[in-house]
Chain A
C-alpha cells in the first residue's frame, strides 16, 4: 500500500476516534463547576495546540537535518509538517477565543502566550509564502530551513511563557513536572485527545509528504 493510501487510512481512523473523543468529552466527562461547559473546549483546544507545536518542532528538526545532510526528503517532510501545522494552528486560534470570551470576558488579549502562538501561526504562513516565492529549489529549501529553525527556537518560549511572564492563560494541566491538576476523568479525556490529534497529525503529514513526493513540489 502506498504512503498516500496509508495516510488516508490513518486519517480516516483518527477522525473516527475524534468522534469518539467528542462523545466522551460531551457525555462521559464531568462538567467543571466554575467554567461550565466552556471548559470542555480544552479537549480540542489544548491537543490542537500540541499538534501545532509538534508540527513546528518537526519542521525545525527536519530543517536542521536538511542543512547538515542535504537530503531533499527532510525538506519535503518539513514542508508537509508546516502545512499540517497551519491547520492545527487554525483550530487552536479559533477555539481559544471561543473559550476566552465567556471565561475572560474578551475574545483576545495581547498576553504573552497568545501573542507567541499567533507568531507561530504567522511563521507557518511565512514559511509557506517563502516556499511559494523562491523558484530555485535549492535556495527555497535552504531559506525555508532557516525559517523552520526560527520556529523551533520559538517553541520553548511558548511553553514557558506562562511561567516567564505575567499572563492570563492557564498553566499546563498535564505537561508539567507535578501531577496533573484535574480529576482523572478529565485527564483521561484530555490524554486520549492528545493521542488522537497526534495520530491525525501523522495521517495528514503522510498524505502531504506523498503528494509532495509525487509532484516534486515540496
Chain B
C-alpha cells in the first residue's frame, strides 16, 4: 500500500450496515407480531 492509498475496509462497513439493519428489522417484526397478538386478544 502506498502512503496515500485509502485502506480497503469496505467489507467491514457492509457487514456492519447489514448487521444493524437485520437487528432493527428483526426487532420491528417481533414488536409487530406481539402487537398483533395483543390487538386480536383485546
Write the residues of chain A forming the contact surface with B, with a CB cutoff of 8 angstroms.
Answer: 4, 7-8, 11, 15, 18, 22, 26, 31, 33-38, 40-41, 44-45, 48, 84, 87, 90-91, 94-95, 98-99, 101-103, 200, 204, 207-208, 210-211, 214-215
Contact: A214 with B23, CB < 8 Å?
no
B-chain residues with CB within 8 Å of residue A26 when the two chains form the complex = 17
Interface size range on B against A? 20 to 34
Nearest CB in chain B: distance from A217 CB, A = 10
Given A94-B23, A98-B19, A102-B7, the answer on whether A37 and B35 have CB atoms closer than 8 Å is no
Q: Which of A44, A207, A215 has a CB less than 8 Å from the CB of B20?
A: A44
Chain A contact residues: over half helix, strand or loop, or mixed?
helix
Contact: A98 with B12, CB < 8 Å?
yes
Most chain A CB neighbours (cut-off 10 Å) among B13, B19, B31, B42: B13
A24 to B10 alpha-carbon distance, docked (Å): 16
Given A38-B13, A87-B23, A95-B16, the answer on whether A215 and B7 have CB atoms closer than 8 Å is no
Contact: A211 with B16, CB < 8 Å?
no
Contact mask for chain B residues 9-25; partner A; CB cutoff 8 A; 1 contact, 0 none = 11011011101110111
A215 to B31 alpha-carbon distance, docked (Å): 13
Give 14 pairs: A residue, B residue, CB < 8 Å, sorted on A. Answer: A7-B31, A8-B32, A11-B28, A22-B17, A36-B8, A38-B12, A41-B17, A44-B16, A87-B24, A94-B23, A95-B19, A207-B31, A210-B38, A211-B34
A-chain residues with CB within 8 Å of residue B6 when the two chains form the complex = 31, 33, 36
B-chain residues with CB within 8 Å of residue A207 when the two chains form the complex = 31-32, 35
Given contacts A4-B39, A37-B9, A214-B41, 11 further A-B contacts (CB under 8 A): A7-B31, A35-B7, A38-B9, A44-B16, A87-B27, A91-B20, A94-B16, A94-B19, A95-B19, A207-B31, A211-B35
Contact: B42 with A35, CB < 8 Å?
no
A-chain residues with CB within 8 Å of residue B25 when the two chains form the complex = 15
Most chain B CB neighbours (cut-off 10 Å) among A35, A207, A208, A215: A207
Residue on A nearest B30 in the bound complex, by CB: A87
